[in-house]
Amino acid sequence: MPPTLGATTDNGAIVLTLLALGRRRPLAWVMLLLAIVPFVDAFAVLSHGGSYAAALGIHAATGVGVLVTAGLLFATSSRDEVAAENDRPVPGVVEAAAKAA
């Protein structure tokens, strides 16, 4: 059964949404998780008789690039930014609490 485009589209939508919202720390975690995919692809290429050049030059290099990106996102998201994100009120909850009081 050929793979569907749905999972790739969903991952891209998640990444673009977090990027647009400026949420670096959650984006870093998503990128870290998505880095697994190219390494599994490299393993699949090697286990099915593919060349080392394709496995390492394409898939593993992509995985390393995604890991570097995740590391840079973690490095640029400071602890103060994370604390500020956690203290941010949730839209709609404040208004509902004000109406109930």
| pLDDT tens column, 11-58 | 888 899 998 998 889 999 999 999 999 999 999 999 999 899 988 899
Q: CA 7, CA 25: separation in Å to the nearest integer?
A: 22
C-alpha 81: how far from its chain's center?
Answer: 18
Q: CA 17, CA 75: separation in Å to the nearest integer?
A: 20
* Angle CA 33–35–40, to nearest 5: 110
Q: For the whole model, what pTM was predicted? A: 0.68
Does 68 have pLDDT greater than 90?
yes
Please compute the mean of the pLDDT values over residues 80-87 and round it to a whole number: 63
Q: CA 10, CA 7: separation in Å to the nearest integer?
A: 5
* 92 against 53, higher pLDDT: 53
Tokens 């485009």 -> residue: 5
Q: For a pLDDT cut of 70, what percent of the chain falls above it?
A: 68
What's the one-letter identity of residue 62? T
Residues written for the chain: 101
